Amino acid sequence: MKLRKATEEDAHKVAHVMVKSYNMDSLEEAVEAFRREMMQEKAFVVAEEGDAIVGIASWQMHDVPKHMLAELHRIAVLPEFKGKGVAKRVFEFLLDDCDRFYRSKGHALRKMFVLTHASNKRAHAFYEKLGFKLEARLPSHYYDGEDELVFSMFLEKKKD
């Protein structure tokens, strides 16, 4: 499996993973989301098996580099690749990418957080396995009646 940063040319393959793993209605919606998020300076990383992209993740700096705060915005693998350690490897690659960015600005990544649907128990177990801790609950955040949970990781504590 090869891990690398995504480019604009990956739009359709990344969108395919998004359609399979997220609440997206069509490939067109997912391609548009990917392109918009790239323009918003969300950094995507991908896992490749042969010609196929089988896992994706993205992160975004929050506010200014000195806050050393990043959001894990997306992480997903194709359904047939779940439970094989793909997302964990994608996340480790993403963390390095993110930390390299902050170091290039004279800082180091301090905290990473992710918002996840309260109903997405699979994702909670995955985040906890990676070392994230439940930090907050945001009522009816993205959808009316669906709370979001905030899971966070302090990087210096991760090394304990």
Ligand X SMILES: CC(C)(COP(=O)(O)OP(=O)(O)OC[C@H]1O[C@@H](n2cnc3c(N)ncnc32)[C@H](O)[C@@H]1OP(=O)(O)O)[C@@H](O)C(=O)NCCC(=O)NCCS
Chain position whose Cβ is nearest to ligand X: 87
Angle value at C-alpha 122, between 119 and 126, nearest 5 degrees: 125
Q: How far is the CB of 79 from ligand X (least distance, A)?
A: 8
Nearer to ligand X, 60 or 120 (CB): 120
Q: How far is CA 36 from the centre of its chain?
A: 15
CA distances from 2 to 32, 51, 98 (A): 25, 10, 18
Nearer to ligand X, 4 or 82 (CB): 82
Nearer to ligand X, 23 or 26 (CB): 23
Amino acid at 28: E
Q: Contact positions toward ligand X, by CB under 6 A?
A: 21, 75-77, 82-88, 116, 120, 122-123, 125-126, 129
Q: How far is the CB of 66 from ligand X (least distance, A)?
A: 27
Q: Is the dihedral of CA 7, 12, 14, 15 positive or negative?
A: positive
Q: How far is the CB of 88 from ligand X (least distance, A)?
A: 3
